[in-house]
């Protein structure tokens, strides 16, 4: 009988002691946390992609709560919906960030850009880039080893077996920027998604002189400047033999597309070409720019 | 030149070593022990070995093909090796059904559930064996008598292993030397003429195989020597402090799975440490735990448990037992000078 | 028991098929392409322009800093143009292209074969001369030689080690230099000893070159303080730190230079260049290059001008075999695979290696079986398997604390790995990333 009693008492005593210690410890080490952090975190998509520039959704939530002005902060995954929910929780003004999307600025398919040697190291663009300029005559272009696809958490990219280039599935892309960081050649860029997902960009990053670039790849930008001359909005700059279209200035008039001698300027999601491609067809979102 | 040049990072030459060469090397090293097992246990050894290998290879293939949706890599020999080692750790009168269960556990739980070759923290064959030992203790601890049961399988005449005789004898108060007269001589123990698992009995064959592994540089001396050395030292201390109550070191090394374990099970690449220092610590750990289980535990045999326990420590050992870095020697010398 | 280094090491088949071929002078090419960055450190600044007439030995690009080296015209002729061309790594680098006309050398250069043993200039003048003559480490690292001759204040050189190891399979250029230019080498060693103010020099030679050991031992016996140390064959003994360990038993601590343990190492090729620079006034404009490979019909050792296209060397060695799969600049362990054959010979080119298709490919990678062989062969005592994982998983702080920066990129781990994992590929990548982090921190 006494054994049972002693056992019960000892265990109960130990339990009580532990409870007291735990209570004291939790009091002593208590950290005040703004309850809104939890709420904001709940509203966020929990993708933990880092696309906002913070290490995970929790850190982003803390930053949102702390910041007085959250118009600079944006969750690329959740988009405007999530951000407006967050703004409601915090009672702050939300930004109306334009949705962005990743674009691959290289069109060096096997056909356009002949392979001059065979790479046989580890299947990683980073390893190949550390070793040499790549399988082709263009030392700026895509290696096609898929570091970007590997980095994508949203199944928004795949390697096209035929072209050897990565392809972005727009609907899945949340513009988190993981692929941009993964690419050792800085080929992938986040650009404004544009009205109705229409956008124009130079699909080349080659900075070699025109003749050299053209020899390496049929569709290389040769830096001739024709596009810059024809652009009515000064959206195109030529630097290091390479044209770049500023997406903030570009009004999608598409004048530059036909003048490019190497077809290096790509237009995406425009309706099929009309006999006169220079004509502007879309008045709704695009400010009329023609003539 | 008609073809494009290949460009790859250095080095541009390779030793020619391969995973399958290592695996088949171990299988070759196990052949003497297999022959010895066939000699002592005859038809039973044959059935157990073939069933275990076939079951392991089959499970690996099925899991890789249908569960992992990968290209099966059974030709690398690792599944066959697991099967062979599993068979070596089973008594030769064990029913086929149990062998298949053992193989399923070894490959399915012990290996593939962690991601396949190279990822398993525990030695798969031992996972299978220990699973069977705990689940089916009766079948797993009835040992056919060598030579006499050559032509028998399930109905083999069974007897005790020297280790269990010793354990019972010592606990009933008999002295070591008295018990030694009841069990086979040291020479017979070394030749393998005793009851036990299929592949663990023939010490001479195992040592031969172990030497082959060392000569071919498939294993290094660190693990076998530290396992055997620590068992010898530990049991010698016990024995010479009290010769009646504790068996001698030679008895401990020649009985049970010590030689099989030291040369073939503990040295399993995947579940052993990477650095030389780590290997020594790991080996000593196995030796000490084996003796603790044998002398103070309730099981007569402890090698399998000892190896599995030390397997669990391997990540920790790898984390803290780094190889000696180049240049460390100098640093140490300088610090002493100052 | 012969001496060797104490940690790790491998034994690749040495396949020195050009070892008995004496050095041949390669005919002058029609046009040379001279890169202005042929060394570690700051690139040189071009001093000529299109259309300039240059003589062999004339400075065409000035050293761009202390750790840098002059570039001299290897030929006489007219500057065709200054351009950027694709180098061995496929990136475009600035070069000077010169059309060869005759073979006229600067008057100050003594082109006679007579041995000049008397050293007339002072230590400081030697260091200056070596710098002016554009001499860099010719074993492949291309570190400017004069930097190594000027130990930092407070550090004293106790022993000069001459690297005649040539542990890379196939390569024989240093071997031939030791056999054919032994007298010049000994004078070169005395010059280096004078510059460093040391009284002891050791020539380290692996035991697979008994003729070189014998020849140099005979010559060294006549000299004060120069000795030959035969070494057990083991790769990578030609690594600076490994060689110091093998010869002196001292290990250079992590992140430190050899001078920390009182040693300075120079390659035999560099030593010969120093002799020619100091005694003959000849800048580094030509070097011995081994052209070899299993399918090469005439494996040879050529004395080639810097800037000669690789294709011309291969042509002189019997042409490119039909089933060529890979051409490597340097040895098979540390050399760089070339993506085109018009790249020029540079100061660091010790060999051109042509591999047939059978030997040009890697085996597919398998799972790591944790065999630990990479750990046991690593001459720096590192854990290549772990460093690869840490790089792949971007655990760069752990890679740093696991001493990734100590890796000498010798390739022993990848060579040994039974699962043919690209260990060094990833370690090299990790080194780059960790190096970047460390630079940003400072």
DSSP C366-405: -------HHHHH-TT---HHHHHHHHHTT-HHHHHHTTGG
pLDDT at A290 over 60: no
Digit-coded pLDDT (tens) for A59-86: 888 888 888 777 777 787 777 788 888 8
Indicate the average pLDDT of chain C. 92
Position A284 confidence tier, pLDDT thresholds 50, 70, 90: very low
3-state class of A257 per DSSP? helix
Query: Based on the domain organization, do B310 and B170 belong to the same domain?
Result: yes
Q: How far apart are CA C409 and CA C371, in angstroms?
A: 20
Contacts of B9 in chain A (CB under 8 A): 121-122, 127, 131
Position A291 confidence tier, pLDDT thresholds 50, 70, 90: very low
**Contact state of C91 with A132 under an 8 Å Cβ cutoff:** yes
Distances in whole angstroms, Cα of residue B254 to Cα of each of B245, B294, C198: 18, 14, 61
Q: How far apart are CA B309 and CA B307, in angstroms?
A: 5
Contact map slice: C 372-431 vs B, CB within 8 A = 372-373, 375-376, 378-383, 385-386, 402-403, 406, 409, 411, 414-420, 422, 424-425, 428
Q: How far apart are CA C53 and CA A279, in angstroms?
A: 58
The domain A35-90 having CATH identifier 3.40.50: the answer here is: no
Burial, C11: exposed, middle or buried (Cβ in 10 Å; 0-12, 13-18, 19+)? exposed
Count of CB atoms situated within 10 Å of the CB of B100: 17
Helix (H) or strand (E) holding B295: helix B276-296
Query: What strands lie across the sheet with C324-329, from one edge to the other?
Result: C23-25, C300-305, C286-292, C351-356, C324-329, C336-337
Q: How far apart are CA C100 and CA C105, in angstroms?
A: 12
Contact map slice: A 91-130 vs B, CB within 8 A = 115-122, 127
* Total residue length of chain A: 291
Closest CA to B189 of B122, B126, B253: B253
Position C269 confidence tier, pLDDT thresholds 50, 70, 90: very high
3-state class of C86 per DSSP? strand
The domain C28-102+285-358 having CATH identifier 3.10.20.600: the answer here is: yes
Q: Superfamily for C123-280?
A: NADH-ubiquinone oxidoreductase 51kDa subunit (3.40.50.11540)
Residue range A93-106: mean pLDDT, rounded:
81
Contacts 24+ apart (CB under 8 A), B68-74: B68/B112, B68/B116, B70/B116, B73/B117, B73/C366
- With DSSP H G I counted as helix, E B as strand and the rest as coil, what are the percentages for chain C, rounded to 5? 30, 20, 50
Q: How far apart are CA C136 and CA C284, in angstroms?
A: 8
Across C311-346, b (16+ Cβ under 10 Å) vs e yields bbbbebbeebbeebbbbbbbbbbbbbbbbbbebbbb
Alpha helices in chain A (DSSP H): 2-28, 35-43, 57-66, 79-90, 125-131, 147-151, 178-182, 210-216, 226-230, 256-259
Q: How far apart are CA C368 and CA B119, in angstroms?
A: 8
DSSP single-letter state for residue C168:
S
Contacts of C323 in chain B (CB under 8 A): 3
Specify the higher pLDDT residue, A268 or B124.
Answer: B124
Contact with chain C for residue B18, Cβ under 8 A: yes
Residue range C348-356: mean pLDDT, rounded:
93
Phi first, then psi, for residue A273 (nearest 5°) are -60, 135
Phi first, then psi, for residue B328 (nearest 5°) are -65, -35
Q: How far apart are CA A119 and CA B162, in angstroms?
A: 61
Q: For residue A117, is it left (φ>0), alpha (ψ between -120 and 50) or beta? A: beta
Q: Check if the beta carbon of residue C416 is closer than 8 Å to that of residue C374.
A: yes
Task: Name residue, tokens 């070894």.
Answer: B106
3-state class of A262 per DSSP? coil
Residue range B175-191: mean pLDDT, rounded:
87
Cα-only R_g, chain C = 21
Q: What is the pLDDT of residue C85?
A: 85
Pairing of β C31-35 and β C53-54: unpaired
Digit-coded pLDDT (tens) for C413-424: 999 999 999 999
Please count the residue pairs, one from chain A and one from chain C, whose beta carbons lie less than 8 angstroms apart: 49
pLDDT at B112 over 60: yes
Closest CA to B81 of B271, B227, B302, B253: B271
**Contact state of B7 with A120 under an 8 Å Cβ cutoff:** yes
Contacts of B324 in chain C (CB under 8 A): 7, 381
Contacts of C249 in chain B (CB under 8 A): none
Q: Which domain holds residue B63?
A: 20-138
**CB nearest to C91's CB, from A124, A139, A212:** A139
Across C21-43, b (16+ Cβ under 10 Å) vs e yields bebbebebbebbbbbbbbbbbeb
Burial, C303: exposed, middle or buried (Cβ in 10 Å; 0-12, 13-18, 19+)? middle
| Residue A120: partners with Cβ closer than 8 Å, 6 or more residues away | B6, B7, B8, C360, C361, C362
Lowest mean pLDDT among A9-18, A28-37, B126-135, C315-324: A28-37
Q: How far apart are CA A136 and CA A208, in angstroms?
A: 13
- Tell whether omega for the bond before B186 is within 30 degrees of 0, i.e. cis: no
Task: Name residue, tokens 């030291």.
Answer: B262
Residue range B188-205: mean pLDDT, rounded:
89
Where are chain C's structural domains? 28-102+285-358, 123-280, 373-441
Query: Based on the domain organization, do B60 and B120 belong to the same domain?
Result: yes
**CB nearest to A127's CB, from B4, B5, B9:** B9
Indicate the average pLDDT of chain A. 85
**Contact state of A131 with B9 under an 8 Å Cβ cutoff:** yes
Digit-coded pLDDT (tens) for C24-36: 999 999 999 999 9
Q: How far is C34 from chain B (nearest CA, A)?
A: 23
Q: What is the pLDDT of residue B329?
A: 64
pLDDT at C206 over 90: yes
Interface test with C, best of A126, A140, A151 (most C CBs within 10 A): A126
pLDDT at A281 over 70: no
Lookup: tokens for A23:
């209570």
Q: What is the pLDDT of residue A274?
A: 60
Fold of A99-190: Alpha-Beta Plaits (3.30.70)
| Chains with ≥3 CB–CB distances under 8 Å to C | A, B
Contacts of C426 in chain A (CB under 8 A): 122, 124, 127
Helix (H) or strand (E) holding C212: helix C210-221
Q: How far apart are CA A271 and CA C119, in angstroms?
A: 82
| Residue A5: partners with Cβ closer than 8 Å, 6 or more residues away | none
Across C217-240, b (16+ Cβ under 10 Å) vs e yields bebbeeeeebebbbbbbbbbbbbb
Q: How far apart are CA C188 and CA C178, in angstroms?
A: 12
Answer yes or no: is B201 within a domain.
yes
- Tell whether omega for the bond before B11 is within 30 degrees of 0, i.e. cis: yes
Q: Check if the beta carbon of residue B322 is closer than 8 Å to that of residue B275.
A: yes
Count of CB atoms situated within 10 Å of the CB of B238: 18
Lookup: tokens for C14:
């040495």
Q: How far apart are CA C136 and CA C73, in angstroms?
A: 16
**CB nearest to A130's CB, from C339, C340, C429:** C429
Residue of chain B minimizing CA distance to C327: B5
pLDDT at A279 over 70: no
Contacts of C362 in chain A (CB under 8 A): 120-121
How high is the ipTM of this complex?
A: 0.90
Query: Based on the domain organization, do B124 and B177 belong to the same domain?
Result: no
CATH classification (class only), A194-291: alpha beta
Pairing of β C23-25 and β C300-305: parallel
**Contact state of B7 with A122 under an 8 Å Cβ cutoff:** no
Count of domains for chain B: 2
Residue of chain C minimizing CA distance to B277: C376
**Contact state of B330 with C250 under an 8 Å Cβ cutoff:** yes
Helix (H) or strand (E) holding B179: helix B176-180
**CB nearest to C425's CB, from A121, A133, A139:** A121
Helix (H) or strand (E) holding C46: strand C45-46
Q: How far apart are CA A3 and CA A9, in angstroms?
A: 10
Lookup: tokens for A41:
């975190």
Digit-coded pLDDT (tens) for C103-142: 999 999 998 888 999 899 999 999 999 999 999 998 878 8
**Contact state of C371 with B328 under an 8 Å Cβ cutoff:** no
* Total residue length of chain B: 338
Count of CB atoms situated within 10 Å of the CB of C15: 16
Residue C303: CA atoms inside 13 Å, Cβ hemisphere, count?
A: 14
Q: For residue B15, is it left (φ>0), alpha (ψ between -120 and 50) or beta? A: alpha
Digit-coded pLDDT (tens) for A210-236: 888 998 899 999 999 999 999 999 999
Query: Based on the domain organization, do B132 and B268 belong to the same domain?
Result: no
Residue of chain C minimizing CA distance to A182: C394
Separation of first and last alpha carbons in chain C? 45
Task: Name residue, tokens 């280790």.
Answer: B163
Q: Check if the beta carbon of residue A61 is closer than 8 Å to that of residue A41.
A: yes
Q: Check if the beta carbon of residue B18 is closer than 8 Å to that of residue B75.
A: no
Alpha helices in C10-121 (DSSP H): none
Task: Name residue, tokens 């020999």.
Answer: B77
Query: Based on the domain organization, do B183 and B291 belong to the same domain?
Result: yes
Closest CA to C363 of B271, A75, A120, B229: A120
pLDDT at B2 over 70: no
Q: How far apart are CA B11 and CA C410, in angstroms?
A: 8
Q: How far is B19 from chain A (nearest CA, A)?
A: 18
Residue of chain A minimizing CA distance to B6: A118
Angle formed by the axes of helices B78-88 and B96-104, nearest 10°? 130
3-state class of A97 per DSSP? coil
Where are chain A's structural domains? 35-90, 99-190, 194-291
pLDDT at A44 over 90: no
Q: How far is A126 from chain B (nearest CA, A)?
A: 12
């Amino acid at each position: 009988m006494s054994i049972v009693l002693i056992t019960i008492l000892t265990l109960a005593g130990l339990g009580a002691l532990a409870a007291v210690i735990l209570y004291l410890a939790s009091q002593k080490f208590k950290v005040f946390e703004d309850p809104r952090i939890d709420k904001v975190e709940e509203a966020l998509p929990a993708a933990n992609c880092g696309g906002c520039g913070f290490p995970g959704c929790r850190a982003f939530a803390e930053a949102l709560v702390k910041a007085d002005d959250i118009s600079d902060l944006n969750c690329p995954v959740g988009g405007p919906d999530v951000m407006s929910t967050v703004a409601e929780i915090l009672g702050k003004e939300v930004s109306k960030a334009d949705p962005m999307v990743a674009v691959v600025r290289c069109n060096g398919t096997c056909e356009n850009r002949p392979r001059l040697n065979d790479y046989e190291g580890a299947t990683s663009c980073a390893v190949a880039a550390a070793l040499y300029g790549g399988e082709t005559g263009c030392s700026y272009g895509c290696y096609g080893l898929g570091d970007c696809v590997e980095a994508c958490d949203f199944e928004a990219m795949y390697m096209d077996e035929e072209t050897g280039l990565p392809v972005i599935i727009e609907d899945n892309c949340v513009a988190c920027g993981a692929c941009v960081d993964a690419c050792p050649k800085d080929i992938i860029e986040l650009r404004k998604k544009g009205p109705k997902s229409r956008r124009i960009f130079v699909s080349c990053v080659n900075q070699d002189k025109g003749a050299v670039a053209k020899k390496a790849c049929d569709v290389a930008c040769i830096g001739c400047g024709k596009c810059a001359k024809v652009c009515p909005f000064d959206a195109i700059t030529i630097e290091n033999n390479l044209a770049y279209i500023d997406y903030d200035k570009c009004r999608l008039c598409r004048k530059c597309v036909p003048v490019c001698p190497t077809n290096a300027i790509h237009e995406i999601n425009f309706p099929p070409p009309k006999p006169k491609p220079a004509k502007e067809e879309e008045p709704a979102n695009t400010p009329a720019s023609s003539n | 030149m008609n073809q494009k040049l290949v460009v790859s990072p250095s080095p541009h030459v390779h030793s020619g070593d391969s995973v399958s060469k290592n695996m088949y090397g171990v299988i070759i090293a196990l052949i003497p022990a297999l022959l010895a097992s066939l000699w002592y246990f005859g038809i039973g050894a044959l059935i157990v070995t073939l069933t275990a290998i076939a079951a392991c290879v089959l499970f690996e293939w099925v899991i890789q093909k249908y569960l992992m949706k990968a290209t099966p890599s059974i030709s690398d020999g690792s599944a066959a090796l697991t099967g062979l080692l599993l068979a070596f750790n089973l008594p030769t009168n064990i029913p086929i059904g149990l062998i298949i269960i053992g193989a399923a556990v070894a490959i399915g739980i012990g290996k593939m559930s962690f991601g396949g070759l190279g990822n398993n923290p525990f030695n798969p064959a031992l996972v299978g064996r220990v699973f069977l030992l705990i689940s089916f203790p009766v079948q797993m601890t009835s040992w056919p008598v060598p030579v006499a049961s050559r032509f028998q399988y399930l109905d083999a005449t069974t007897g005790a292993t020297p280790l269990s005789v010793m354990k019972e004898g010592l606990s009933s108060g008999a002295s070591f030397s008295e018990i030694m007269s009841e069990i086979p001589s040291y020479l017979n123990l070394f030749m393998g003429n005793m009851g036990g698992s299929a592949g663990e009995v023939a010490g001479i064959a195992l040592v031969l195989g172990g030497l082959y592994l060392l000569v071919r540089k498939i294993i290094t001396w660190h693990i076998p020597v530290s396992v055997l050395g620590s068992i010898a030292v530990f049991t010698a201390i016990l024995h010479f402090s009290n010769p009646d109550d504790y068996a001698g070191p030679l008895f401990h090394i020649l009985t049970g799975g010590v030689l099989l374990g030291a040369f073939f099970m503990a040295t399993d690449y995947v579940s052993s440490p990477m650095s030389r220092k780590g290997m020594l610590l790991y080996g000593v750990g196995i030796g000490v735990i084996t003796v603790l289980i044998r002398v103070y535990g309730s099981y007569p045999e402890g090698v399998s448990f000892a190896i599995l326990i030390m397997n669990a420590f391997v990540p920790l050992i790898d984390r803290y037992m780094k190889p000696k870095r180049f240049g460390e020697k100098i640093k140490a010398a300088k610090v002493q000078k100052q | 028991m012969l001496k060797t280094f104490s940690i790790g090491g491998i034994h690749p088949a040495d396949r020195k098929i050009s070892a008995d071929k004496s050095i041949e002078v390669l005919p002058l090419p029609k046009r040379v392409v001279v890169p202005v960055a042929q060394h570690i450190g700051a690139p040189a600044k071009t001093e000529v322009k299109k259309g300039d007439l240059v003589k062999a030995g004339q400075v065409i690009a000035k050293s761009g800093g202390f750790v840098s080296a002059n570039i001299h015209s290897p030929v006489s002729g007219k500057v065709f143009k200054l351009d950027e061309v694709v180098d061995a790594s496929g990136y475009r680098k600035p070069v000077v292209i010169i059309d060869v006309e005759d073979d006229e050398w600067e008057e100050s250069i003594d082109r006679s074969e007579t041995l000049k043993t008397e050293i007339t200039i002072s230590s400081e003048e030697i260091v200056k001369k070596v710098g002016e003559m554009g001499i860099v480490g010719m074993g492949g690292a291309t570190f400017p030689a004069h930097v190594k001759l000027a130990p930092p204040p407070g550090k004293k050189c106790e022993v000069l080690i001459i690297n005649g190891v040539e542990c890379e399979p196939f390569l024989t250029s240093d071997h031939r230099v030791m056999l054919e230019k032994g007298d010049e080498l000994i004078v070169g060693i005395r010059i280096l000893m004078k510059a460093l103010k040391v009284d002891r020099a050791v020539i380290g030679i692996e035991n697979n070159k008994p003729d070189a050991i014998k020849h140099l031992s005979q010559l060294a016996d006549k000299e004060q303080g120069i000795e030959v140390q035969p070494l057990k064959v083991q790769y990578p003994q030609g690594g600076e730190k490994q060689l110091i360990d093998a010869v002196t038993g001292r290990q250079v601590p992590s992140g430190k230079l050899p001078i920390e343990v009182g040693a300075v190492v120079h390659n035999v090729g560099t030593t010969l260049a120093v002799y020619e620079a100091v005694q003959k006034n000849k800048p580094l404009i030509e070097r011995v290059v081994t052209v070899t490979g299993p399918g090469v019909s005439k494996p040879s050792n050529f004395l080639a001008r810097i800037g000669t296209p690789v294709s011309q060397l291969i042509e002189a060695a019997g042409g490119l075999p039909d089933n060529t799969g890979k051409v490597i600049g340097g040895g098979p362990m540390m050399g760089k695979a070339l993506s085109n054959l018009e790249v020029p010979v540079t100061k660091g080119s010790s060999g051109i290696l042509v591999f047939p298709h059978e030997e040009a490919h890697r085996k597919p990678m398998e799972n790591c079986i944790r065999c630990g062989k990479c750990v046991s062969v690593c001459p720096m005592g590192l854990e290549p398997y772990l460093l690869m994982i840490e790089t792949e998983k971007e655990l760069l702080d752990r890679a740093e604390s696991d001493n990734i920066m100590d890796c000498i990129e010798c390739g022993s781990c990848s060579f040994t790995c039974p699962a043919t994992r690209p260990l060094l590929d990833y370690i090299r990548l990790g080194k780059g990333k960790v190096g970047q982090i460390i630079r940003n921190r400072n």
